[in-house]
Amino acid sequence: MAKPNPNGIEFDNLYLDMNGIIHPCCHPQDKPAPKSEEEMFLAIFAYIDHIMILIRPRKLLYMAIDGVAPRAKMNQQRSRRFRAIQDAEAEAEAEAERRREEDANAPKETEIPEEHWDSNCITPGTPFTANLVVALRYFVAHRLSTHPGWQHLKVLLSDASVPGEGEHMVMNFVRRQRCEPGYDLNTKHVLYGLDADLIMLGIATHEPNFSILREDLLKIEDTWPKNPDVCLHCYQCGHRATRCPNPPAEGRLESTPFLFLHMPVLREYLEAELYFIEETAGFPFNLEHALDDWVILCFFVGNDFLPHLPSMRIKEGAVDLLVDMWKANLPAIGGYLTEHGHVHLDRLQPFIDELGRAETHIFTHRFGVQLGYRRTRKRRRFVVRQQRRLYRQQLGHKVPDRPSVPAANDVDVDDDELSSEMSESDEEVAQRPDRKTDEKQRDQAPPLTEWVIDTSVKMHYGSWRTSCYETKFQDASEAFRTNVGQAYVEGLCWVLHYYYLGCASWTWFYPYHYAPLAQDMRDLASMSVQFDLGAPFMPVEQLMGVFPAASRMHIPAVFHDLMTSPDSPIIDFYPTKFKIDLNGETALWKAVSLEARLRAAMKSPLAKMAAADRKLNARGHEILLVAQDHELFTTLAATYQGDGREIALDMNLGRLGGPCAPTRASASPARP
């Protein structure tokens, strides 16, 4: 690691979005899971070492673990954690059933011998994350003291006690660096992470030398067996990879391939796509402003904080369509949609109007594709049935328990019978175990995570528009549609501010599960969008807000009754059964005054928390670690000679690699 990078490119700063490392190391999908926290931590250390060998940063390593997220993210977090418990229970039941089938003499109540590890513990404020932070500090201290490739580095650790998402804490740090006098524009940054929004965040930095690193998942999956019943670790049948007792199969990728996304290359491609002629648009082309507009265009296809517009699907070419519409309407828009992290709502309105006019055509086309897909699938099913019947008749067998169907070569096939076959519901067709569709047909089928337009809806403007709102919102009134549209526009402003300037409000959130139609985002120029910064949730408040009752073992015991007792004032927050609709939504956290009820119910138990639990509920700060031979060591060591009061340290950009606020000695310094 102390030698030059064999990839032919050197990086100054490496940023690790640690949650992208923690999750796959603690509960991998393609190999046996670690049996203890210690094994999990060792796997995390090994993965960090692997990335460090790949990148070999010369100046800075920044490790960011997700802290308490803004309220806007908690709907998604809550749904994911409830789903995680439900999926784990289903997997446990399936595994128990499989074992019963293997051992016919086993009693009916046979359970999995291993206790299921709850991945929900990877959340700020849990004992697991606290133990992980201690382990990471020890690991970094050990590497700084013993590894020559680390000794020149400054290591910043932002743990789960620091509010904010990991990737956004990284972006805040990058922005702070750019504001410092003397900042070297040639600094080469690389960010490791798995989140899809890292591309948007990378564009938003406007850094000329920024790259994103992640695993090449497609290449990994290409090596996996095609049979879904085969273990991905040993390639044998009869068990899952997470409980595989065998060594890895020959030819299995043990060394994970990685991909680089270099922002300079992406910027060149985007420049070619976004470029317009000044005389046509009425204002000059500026790449940086055009990239900012491209970022907000991508918001319409969805992100972690806002659902996608019903008419926008990435696989249908939504991003290309949005860019084409943006370029075609530049004269009417009169300028760029955004500027320095703020939205020009008066300019956004003409673009939204054009998008609204296109919605009817998009849904009409989609309806036709869906209908054609269903007819093709049912017709194929009908033909296959006839072919099977003919084949069995030729073999001298009768079709068991099947209605009489004319042979495929019968020229008098009744059209009514074909119509009967074609009129089967989608559910009936989907339930057939031998249902097959080719790749093209599957691509045309509406996925379950999209806003599906019911085939009974006639594609007239008034009909489908009203039906959509009545189906998804149970309210199709004009006033309600206007409110949803304005809330979505507020969300666009909030997300853009979050990407470019940081969190505008810790308490704001989009109060609906679905996006409005573009036609209902009106009068934007008259809107006044203001945000109250507020304060982030405390860790235990977030745990109570996003955890199901089944994960209460990670929350202090004084709060357990609130999650399980029938007399709890917030027992309705913790359903044990819930439905998932066609959009993949759980409807677990609707637009109600949840925070007020939650905090009121928690007030009494908070006063009874033990000292150790109070420590888990405290907010922390970024931690700076350097080796003893580093030039900053003497300055930092001086902070431990006083009484622990804050001491302003003279750490300029050139020495730290970024700004530094007034610093004080850590109460628990990491020592080798």
Q: Are β-strands 60-64 and 154-158 bridged in parallel, bridged antiparallel, or unpaired?
A: parallel
Of 518, 571, 520, give the one whose Cα is nearest residue 549.
571
Q: Has residue 655 got a pLDDT over 80?
A: no
What domain range is 249 assigned to? 221-255
Contact partners, residue 92, CB within 8 Å, separation at least 6: 111, 112, 116
pLDDT band at 435 (very low <50, low <70, confident <90, very high): very low
DSSP string, 67-119: -SPPHHHHHHHHHHHHHHHHHHHHHHHHHHHHHHHH-TTS-TT---SSPPP-G
Q: Which of 416, 441, 466 is the last residue of a domain?
A: 441
Q: Is 401 left (phi over 0), alpha (psi -120 to 50) or beta?
A: left
Q: Which DSSP string do the residues of 479-535 spell out, in sequence order?
A: HHHHHHHHHHHHHHHHHHHHHHT--S-SS-----SSPPPGGG---GGG---------
What's the rounded mean pLDDT across residues 484-490? Answer: 96
Task: Find out whether 344 and 336 touch, Cβ atoms under 8 Å.
Answer: yes
- pLDDT over 70 at 302, yes or no: yes
> Cα–Cα distance between 188 and 174 in angstroms, integer?
11
- Rounded mean pLDDT of the chain? 80
**Average pLDDT in the 490-495 region?**
98
Among 420, 441, 462, which residue terminates a domain? 441
Identify the bridge partners of residue 154 per DSSP, sorted by sequence position. 60, 626
Is 577 contained in some domain? no
Residue 43 has pLDDT above 60, yes or no: yes
Assigned domain for 420 exists:
yes
Predicted local distance difference test score (pLDDT) of residue 666 = 62
Q: Helices 478-500 and 287-299 meet at what angle, rounded to 10?
A: 130
Amino acid at residue number 133: V
CB 12 within 8 Å of CB 188: yes
Instruction: State the Cα–Cα distance between residues 602 and 389, nearest whole angstrom.
Output: 66
Sign of CA dihedral 562, 565, 570, 574: positive
Q: What percent of the chain has pLDDT over 90?
A: 51
Q: Which position has the higher pLDDT, 560 or 447?
A: 560
Specify the higher pLDDT residue, 252 or 503.
503
How sure is the predictor about 538, in pLDDT bands with cuts at 50, 70 and 90? very high
Task: Tell me the residue type at 476.
Answer: A
Nearest in space to 331 (alpha carbons), one of 407, 278, 376, 261? 278
Where helices occur in 255-343 by DSSP H, the ranges are: 263-274, 278-281, 287-299, 318-328, 330-333
**Boundary of a domain, candidates 398, 418, 441:** 441
Taking residue 103's Cβ as centre, other Cβ atoms within 10 Å add up to 9
pTM confidence score: 0.81
| Type of residue numbered 661 | A
Q: Tell me the one-letter amino acid at 499.
A: Y
Q: Are 561 and 568 in contact (CB under 8 A)?
A: yes
Q: How confident is the model at residue 110 (pLDDT cuts 50, 70, 90)?
A: very low
Sheet with 258-262, strands from edge to edge, namely 258-262, 210-215, 189-192, 13-17, 60-64, 154-158, 623-626
Q: What CA–CA distance (Å, rounded) separates 16 from 545?
A: 27
More confident residue, 2 or 222: 2
pLDDT for residue 276:
95
Could you give the number of structural domains in the chain?
Answer: 2
393 located within any domain? yes
Torsion (CA) 171, 174, 176, 178 in degrees, nearest 10? -140
d(CA 156, CA 130) in angstroms, rounded, equals: 17
Give 604's contacts (C-beta < 8 A, 6+ positions apart). Answer: none
Site of tokens 């000794």: 151
What per-residue confidence (pLDDT) applies to 283? 95
At 2, list the tokens: 């102390």
Which pLDDT belongs to residue 250? 59
Summarize the confidence of residues 278-285 as an average pLDDT: 93
| pLDDT tens-digit readout, 574-614 | 987 766 554 544 444 443 457 788 999 999 999 999 999 99
pLDDT number for residue 122: 95
What backbone phi and psi angles, to 5 degrees, belong to 394?
A: -65, -25
d(CA 651, CA 649): 6
Gap between the Cα atoms of 396 and 386, Å rounded? 15
pLDDT at 418 over 50: no
Residues 6+ apart with CB under 8 A from 326: 293, 297, 333, 337, 351
pLDDT score for 385: 73
Residue 63: beta bridge partners?
16, 157
Tokens (6 digits) for 23: 């999750």
SS3 for 166-223, per residue?
HHHHHHHHHHHHHHCCCCCCCCCEEEECCCCCHHHHHHHHCCCCEEEEEECHHHHHHC
Predicted confidence at residue 449, as pLDDT, reads: 35
Q: With the C-alpha atoms ordered 562, 564, 568, 573, is the resulting torsion angle positive or negative? A: positive
Residue 199 lies in a domain: no
Q: Is residue 415 part of a domain?
A: yes
Q: Is 657 helix (H, G, I), strand (E, B) or coil?
A: coil
Q: How far is CA 262 from CA 78, 203, 292, in A?
A: 33, 10, 18
Please write the tens of the pLDDT for every residue from 317-347: 999 999 999 999 999 999 999 999 999 999 9
